[in-house]
Amino acid sequence: MSVGIGNIATIYSNANIDIQPNSISIPIFRCSKSHQSCVFCDEKDSCSAKVLSRIQRTMIFLKCGVFVAAGSRCCTSHLCEDELTIKSFDHIRVSKPDRWKIDIRTILFKQKKFDFDDPSCFSDEGYQAIVGLSKEQFNYLVNTVSSMRNSHVRSVRVAVAVFLAKLRLGLSNRVLAVLFNLENKRVVSHINNRVRKALMKDFVPYHLGLKHITRETAIEEHQTTIAAILHTNKPDQLCVIADTTYLFIQKSRSYQVKQAISYIQEHLTPSSLYDDEPEFIVELSSNDDNIVRARFSSRHINKKTYVTIIQHGIKNIEQPITGWYCTCRSGRRDVGCCVHVAALLWHLGVCRAEIDLNNHPLPTSNIYLEIIDSIQFYDVQTSDDEDVTTDDEI
């Protein structure tokens, strides 16, 4: 049956409903407003009755759809260890419905969101605080990541924001999953790994390093006339000035580095080759010269031993460390590394390596020529005493 506009107006008029364009009216059932009787059984025993807490009143509303006013009471027979019993919800007494007027637009405008898909969600100061970039810089970075696509889990904007927030704030993957409304910490780990690869492909080659700009472009667009007159004596000669006034080189205050040094010191053993000299045992692979391994005893559990593995590339000068893994709880990080990996890297790069500017990095085989008692590398044998992580712990 069709109903015209005039009929609709008549229906509203007969229903005696106050129509307001900015709000809606919702019927809500409620209990009696009297605070002298129990909301479940209507008993009036002021001695044994207890006032319902805000949490208990909220549970009644969620389970029964009945509003209970503040100060309402119930008998102790409906409670078990200060919690409402399951049967009590079936006996809630409903008085009559009230009509609540709700301004939907005001609620939506006041709703606070943590959503990088909405450009108006954060101010420029908010972008700086969370990702360390201005809103304009963040938008430019997102547009450069052309190899990533939106998925049903996250958009490209959210993925880049998660990665930058991880770098700037140092929050755990579990906390980031809650903030960005992601399923779990494994999703955050996968996002960070995906964004890192996309930035290395789409952003780094065009904005960082000497290879991101040609010699001709540097001369034509970045070399001033004064610099060419003062520092060049040939046409088309490139002038590069490096100002190191504010280049600070100081001892690292990182807690992880200090802890890594102590880990190596704790695992030093007397050398069987040289008297009165300690040694740290590093195992070499018999099949791959680019893989080394070391063992670290747990500081908290005596029977537990963690196996730390590092893979490096001899020919990869820009990024010699190509992979790492440890059997401890945080050994499979995509961003950063655990203290065991940091300890082994510190031992290889600081304690043992002699830097050769003409041939850097040095092959591992040259570093460990003096270690005679290094055992052959074999497949990792995990036992019940070893703490091996799974994807659920990432």
pLDDT of the chain, 394 residues: tens digit per residue:
333 334 333 333 444 444 455 667 777 888 877 777 888 887 776 567 788 888 788 888 888 888 888 888 888 888 887 788 888 888 888 877 777 777 666 665 655 567 888 777 788 888 888 899 998 999 999 999 989 988 888 889 999 999 999 998 888 899 999 888 888 999 999 999 999 999 999 998 888 777 788 888 888 888 888 888 888 888 788 888 777 666 655 555 567 777 887 888 888 877 777 777 777 888 888 888 888 999 998 888 888 899 999 988 877 777 888 888 999 888 877 777 888 998 888 888 776 643 333 433 333 444 444 443 444 444 444 443 344 444 443 3
**Residue 291's domain spans which residues?**
253-370
User: How far apart are the C-alpha atoms of 325 and 336, rounded to whole Å?
Assistant: 11
Q: Which pTM was predicted?
A: 0.39
Q: Are residues 274 and 345 in the same domain?
A: yes
In a domain, 247, yes or no: no
In a domain, 248, yes or no: no
Q: Are residues 265 and 303 in the same domain?
A: yes
Q: What are the b/e assignments for 1-26, b being 16+ CB within 10 Å? A: eeeeeeeeeeeeeeeeeeeeeeeeee
What is the distance, to the nearest Å, from the Cα of residue 129 to the centroid of all Cα atoms in its chain? 15
pLDDT score for 186: 92
Contacts of 184 (CB under 8 A, 6+ apart): 174, 177
pLDDT score for 5: 35
Q: Are residues 138 and 89 in the same domain?
A: no
Instruction: Verify cis geometry, omega within 30 degrees of 0, for the bond prior to 361.
Output: yes
Between strands 83-84 and 73-74, the pairing is unpaired
Q: Which two tokens stand for residue 237?
A: 């000669």
In a domain, 240, yes or no: no
Q: Are residues 280 and 362 in the same domain?
A: yes
pLDDT score for 268: 80
| Residue 162 contacts residue 192 (beta carbons within 8 Å) | yes
Alpha helices in the chain (DSSP H): 5-15, 54-64, 104-110, 124-131, 135-144, 156-169, 173-179, 185-202, 204-207, 215-217, 225-231, 255-266, 339-346, 364-367
Q: Are residues 96 and 174 in the same domain?
A: no
In a domain, 389, yes or no: no
Helices 156-169 and 124-131, packing angle to 10 deg: 60
3-state DSSP assignment of residue 141: helix
Q: What are the b/e assignments for 309-324, b being 16+ CB within 10 Å? A: bbebeeeeeeeebeeb
pLDDT score for 302: 80
Q: Are residues 99 and 132 in the same domain?
A: no
Domain boundary residue among 81, 109, 137?
Answer: 109
Region of 244 please: left (phi>0), alpha (psi -120 to 50) or beta. Answer: alpha
- Residue 308 forms beta bridges with which residues? 294, 326
Q: How many domains does the chain have?
A: 3
In a domain, 284, yes or no: yes
In a domain, 21, yes or no: yes
User: How far apart are the C-alpha atoms of 293 and 327, rounded to whole Å?
Assistant: 12
CA-closest candidate to residue 217, choices 202, 238, 231: 238
Domain boundary residue among 65, 84, 109?
Answer: 109
| Residue 97 contacts residue 30 (beta carbons within 8 Å) | yes
Q: Are residues 43 and 88 in the same domain?
A: yes
Between strands 376-377 and 283-285, the pairing is parallel
User: How far apart are the C-alpha atoms of 286 and 380, rounded to whole Å?
Assistant: 13
In a domain, 238, yes or no: no
In degrees and rounded to multiples of 5, residue 269 shows phi and psi of: -125, 155
pLDDT score for 196: 93
Q: Are residues 12 and 70 in the same domain?
A: yes
pLDDT score for 208: 78
In a domain, 225, yes or no: no
Q: Are residues 349 and 292 in the same domain?
A: yes
Q: Are residues 290 and 267 in the same domain?
A: yes
Q: Are residues 309 and 257 in the same domain?
A: yes
Q: Are residues 57 and 156 in the same domain?
A: no
Domain boundary residue among 183, 206, 229?
Answer: 206
